[in-house]
Amino acid sequence: MAVAALRFDQLMRVSERAVGQAVRSNQPRLQLVASRVVESTVSWQRWESEHAVIMRRIVAPRRPPAQVSALKTAAFGLIHRKALFEYLSERSLSRVQRRRIISLFHGARGYTDSMIAEHGNYIRSACSYVCTGEVGSQVVQDGAFQDPMDRYEELYTEYFHAYCDSEVGSLDDPGTAGLRAILPLLKLQLVEQRKAILAMPRSMPDLLREARLRTPTGTTQKLRRPDFVEGAG
């Protein structure tokens, strides 16, 4: 079955629904990310504005195959964008090491301002990533947005963590040298997975998996659609 051309208003509608489902999901981290986006008019509008830019890039090509490729590329970019805050959250780093990592990506910008910016980037990017997955599996109905994309995220996390660990490690530590030695291999695996996903023929998604992700925990309430949540089109 051919894929119909994607429309901007359609993608924003699906994305809004995905955010509501995330708030009610059985995944605490997903709940937290979505809740932070809808917690105020300002946070919602900031996310909606950035997300609309991503969605417009996806629908810009006229042909559906090119749109699907753009959707996959957007998902890759969102995985990359949220990686730094995830690394800082998961690693037990010293104050000096944290500042070293921040300076690598933010240059001379102040540490506090950089951390605030990275937290915001993470929240909005993680929420948009959920939306690209919803569009990919539920609208495009392509299984590439499930396990293959999950695998890409795993590989990118492994590569990004190894890179950052090598930057904060001591130069005379054999472990640091070992990390730097395997970075080219990790990057090659990442590139190959990306190419495979872009070239992958369409396959039907596991719809039961999507249903499991949206199952309420029993401790959450149905999301009341905020008055400020309007279409971005």
Cβ proximity of 48 and 231 under 8 Å: no
CA–CA dist 141, 1 (Å, integer): 10
Q: Residue 72 burial (CB < 10 Å; 0-12/13-18/19+)?
A: buried
Phi (first) and psi of residue 13, to 5 degrees: -65, -45
Calculate mean pLDDT across residues 58-81. Answer: 97
CA–CA dist 88, 97 (Å, integer): 10
CA–CA dist 216, 219 (Å, integer): 8
- Cα–Cα distances in Å, from 47 out to 95, 139, 172? 30, 21, 43
Residue 63, CB-side half-sphere exposure with 13 Å CA sphere:
3
The tokens of 153 are what? 């995220």
Average per-residue pLDDT for the chain: 88
C-alpha 119 chain-centroid distance: 13
pLDDT at position 174 is: 76
Q: Of all residues in the chain, what percent carry a pLDDT higher than 70?
A: 86
Please, which pLDDT band fits residue 66 given cuts at 50, 70 and 90?
Answer: very high
pLDDT at position 209 is: 58
With tokens 């090119």, the residue in question is 66
The tokens of 143 are what? 């299984």
CA–CA dist 28, 164 (Å, integer): 26
Residue 200, CB-side half-sphere exposure with 13 Å CA sphere:
20
pLDDT for 140-162, tens place per residue?
Answer: 999 999 999 999 999 999 999 99
pLDDT for 40-52, tens place per residue?
Answer: 999 999 999 999 9
Phi (first) and psi of residue 2, to 5 degrees: -70, 150
pLDDT at position 26 is: 86
pLDDT at position 193 is: 98
Residue type, 143: G
The tokens of 53 are what? 């830019």
Q: Of all residues in the chain, what percent carry a pLDDT higher than 90?
A: 76
Three-class SS of residue 136?
helix
Does residue 86 surpass a pLDDT of 70? Answer: yes
- Pick 192 or 28 by higher pLDDT: 192
pLDDT at position 222 is: 41
Calculate mean pLDDT across residues 110-139. Answer: 96
Lowest mean pLDDT among 25-29, 71-75, 79-83: 25-29
pLDDT at position 232 is: 39
CA–CA dist 39, 183 (Å, integer): 39
Please, which pLDDT band fits residue 217 given cuts at 50, 70 and 90?
Answer: very low
Lowest mean pLDDT among 49-58, 82-91, 216-225: 216-225
